[in-house]
Chain A
Amino acid sequence: MSSRLERRYARVLRLYPKAYREERGPELMATLLEAPGRPMRRELPALLLGALRAHAGSARRTTAGSWLIASRIAALMVLIYSITTPPVRAGLTLVYGPPHDWWLLEQSLPEVLAAPVGLLALVAGTLGRHRMALAVTAVAFLVGLGTWLTDTALEAGFFHYLFAAVLLLPVARKAPPPVSGLLRYALYAPLLLIAADHVGDNLLPAVAGIVRFGAFVAVWVVALLWAVVDERVTMAVGLFFLAEALVWSIRLTAVFVGGTGVVLSSLVVSAALTALVPTVLLSVSALAGRRQARL
Chain B
Amino acid sequence: MVAPVREPTYFILAALQDEPRYGYAIIKRAEALSEGRVTLATGTLYSALDRLTAEGFVRVVREEIVNGRARRYYEVTPDGLAALRVEAAHLANAAKVVTDRMALRPAAGLA
Contact = CB atoms under 8 A, between A and B. Distances in A.
A24 interface: yes
Interface string B1-25: 0111110010000000000001110
Contacts of B9: 294-295
B42 A295 contact: no
Contacts of B52: 295
Nearest to B54: A59
A135 interface: no
Contacts of B70: 26-27, 29-30
Contacts of B72: 27
Interface stretch (A42-50, A66-74, A186-194): A42-50
Residue from B6, B24, B50, B72 having most chain A Cβ neighbours under 10 A: B50
Interface stretch (A32-40, A92-100, A108-116, A210-218): A32-40
Contact of B42 (A26, A32, A58): A32
Grouping DSSP codes into helix (H, G, I), strand (E, B) and loop, the B interface class, with mixed when no group exceeds half, is helix
Contacts of A45: 41, 43
Given A31-B23, A295-B5, A295-B6, A47 B42 contact: yes
Size bracket, chain B contacts: 20 to 34
B4 A49 contact: no
A269 B18 CA distance: 61
Contacts of B93: none
B56 to A, nearest CB: 12
B3 A35 contact: no
A58 B47 contact: yes
B41 A295 contact: no
Nearest to A50: B43
A180 B55 CA distance: 20
A166 B41 CA distance: 43
B69 A60 contact: no
A132 B50 CA distance: 37
B76 interface: no
A31 B45 CA distance: 10
Nearest to A29: B69
Residue from A24, A31, A43, A48 having most chain B Cβ neighbours under 10 A: A31
Interface string B44-86: 1111001110110100000000000111100000000001000
A31 B24 contact: yes
B70 to A, nearest CB: 4
Given A28-B23, A31-B22, 10 more contacts: A27-B23, A28-B42, A29-B69, A30-B69, A43-B41, A45-B43, A50-B47, A53-B47, A58-B51, A295-B5
Interface of A: 24, 26-35, 42-43, 45-51, 53, 58-60, 293-295
5 closest Cβ contacts across the A-B interface? A46-B43, A31-B23, A46-B41, A50-B43, A30-B69
